[in-house]
Structure 1
Amino acid sequence: MLAAAEASMDMAAEDDAARERNRARLYAPPAGERRRTDRPKPPRSGMSMDQVRAMMSAVAQEDAQLTRRRSG
């Protein structure tokens, strides 16, 4: 349905700027909806750069060992 609405709005638009305004209006969140800023942020569960480098080094070392076994 959105694609049909977008297509009809594109045909009615006079220029590219009008098309962009129509598209922004079509895909904008509902007027009554607000973003919740009081929600607590989840704890970070990612890796630090040092952990990433150590893991990449270990994977590269393992890959080199496996490659040597196959070719030699």
Structure 2
Amino acid sequence: MLAAAEAAIEDAAEDQAERDRNRAKLYAPPRVAGPGGQRMRPPPAIRVDQAGAQALMAQLAAEDARLGSR
């Protein structure tokens, strides 16, 4: 499917220079700057201890049982 999309983009180009520009944009690495030129950071990791994980599992089981009873 990606190859077909790439072929469609290349077919739409009027000349080789436009094909080269399209290919450069398509395969360019992702931008790392956010709004205002600030460097984007991944969100902080959420740490859950064993008791928290068990509480989440219990909530999930309760929700699953509630939705399964419909």
TM-score, length of structure 1 as denominator length: 0.40
TM-score, length of structure 2 as denominator length: 0.41
Larger RCO: 1 or 2 (CA < 8 Å, sep 6+): 1
Larger Cα-atom Rg? 1
